[in-house]
Amino acid sequence: MTNQNNNVVRPEVNSCINTLISGPESMAVLGEFLGFSHSNFIKRLDLEGANVNAWIDLMRAASPTRSENQEKSSWILYHPSAIKLFDEIIYSAKGKEIVFFLDYDGTLSPIVADPDKAFMTRKMRATLKDIARHFPTAIVTGRCRDKVFNFVKLAELYYAASHGMDIMGPTKNGSAVKSNNNNNTNKAVLFQPAGQFLPMIDEVYKILLEKTKCVPGAKVENNKFCLSVHFRCVDEKSWAPLAEKVRLVLNEYPKLRLTQGRKVLEIRPTIKWDKGKALEFLLESLGYENSNDVFPIYIGDDRTDEDAFKVLRRRGQGVGILVSSVPKETDASYTLQDPSEVEHFLRRLVEWKRSSNVNPTSA
């Protein structure tokens, strides 16, 4: 794998990548990934020292197309269905206040080719509304706040957008809040730890638009405090050249870093802030900083959600639920297969809460 440490993509890179994917080394990497025997498997790639082939391998691994039944059975043993073990989760939450943290793409809405059309179903919105009626609920997403609010359209929720770098609370009168200003006139805005990066992110957004326009299907999304370069509609043969273009742009901006998600490269400020930090900030804002009476439930499908799963494990509170139909290394305790199962799980929580309100001894 001589070109793995080479920061310049050579013309033969596509064939190299294909060789890599079918070769024994990459199969070993994938095997480790699926069998999680390699505890230090790379989950996040910073710009420094990273290379295009590693990104491509990870993107493929993050969006696997097949898995062995045996591996899946073993994985499910360690990460059982949150629906099948619903009673176990409720038992753990007994006497505590449940707080929901929900990723958006791939969790509340299906992953679709056009990220601008990642709508959630009416059924999901109705369920989410019911969930928020009974439990404090936050959407934690890489999307920009305005965009995710336009998808969800529920003013009673908390929104931790741009990977938690843009946090907004519900308004007291429940009216819709869409302002994204930075001048503190919007009292619903709770926290924006990366405000000083806005001009730089805008500048990089414009450069990336220009540099990637020649790659069919490439889409650059401005999430205000971070940028996403979507590979969903890009031919797999163009993944490496596209990733290389992104890397070259980022070389000029050491205060920004690259992370990798499901068919997406994301550009973020180098501040130590992620979905896990956002979860802790929101728990603190809700008054649960040092409380043992809280039971956070975090549901997400992406690598960026692992930061939140880790926080829950470290705190020994609540549960992390990974949305995935295929084995992935995760710090989540339970799994749900897809957004329709997420809806089913949330609906059961609502029904359980309603019945426990009628019959308080069951809660």
- Catalytic center residues: 103
Considering beta carbons, is residue 29 or 148 the nearer one to Mg ion?
A: 148
Q: How far is the CB of 144 from Mg ion (least distance, A)?
A: 14
Nearer to Mg ion, 212 or 304 (CB): 304
The 3-state secondary structure of the chain, one letter per residue: CHHHHCCCCCCCHHHHHHHHHHCHHHHHHHHHHHHCCCCCCCCCCCCCCCCHHHHHHHHHHHCCCCCCHHHHHHHHHHCCECCCCHHHHHHHHCCCEEEEEECCECCCECCCCCHHHCCCCHHHHHHHHHHHHHCCEEEECCCCHHHHHHHHCCCCCEEEEHHHCEEECCCCCCCCCCCCCCCCCCCCEEECCCHHHHHHHHHHHHHHHHHHCCCCCCEEEECCCCEEEECCCCCHHHHHHHHHHHHHHHHCCCCEEEEEECCEEEEEECCCCCHHHHHHHHHHHCCCCCCCCEEEEEEECCHHHHHHHHHHHHHCCCEEEEECCCCCCCCCCEEECCHHHHHHHHHHHHHHHHHHHHCHHHC
Euclidean distance between CA atoms 157 and 174, whole angstroms: 9
**Smallest separation, CB 324 to Mg ion (Å):** 10
Smallest distance, Mg ion to C-beta of residue 176, A: 23
Closer Cβ to Mg ion, 302 or 307, answer by number: 302
What six digits make up the tokens of 31? 């095997």
CB of 223 to Mg ion, least distance (A): 13
Closest to Mg ion by CB, 51 or 228:
228
Nearer to Mg ion, 105 or 331 (CB): 105
Binding residues vs Mg ion (CB under 5 A): 103, 105-106, 301-302
Question: In terms of CB distance, is 63 or 186 closer to Mg ion?
Answer: 63
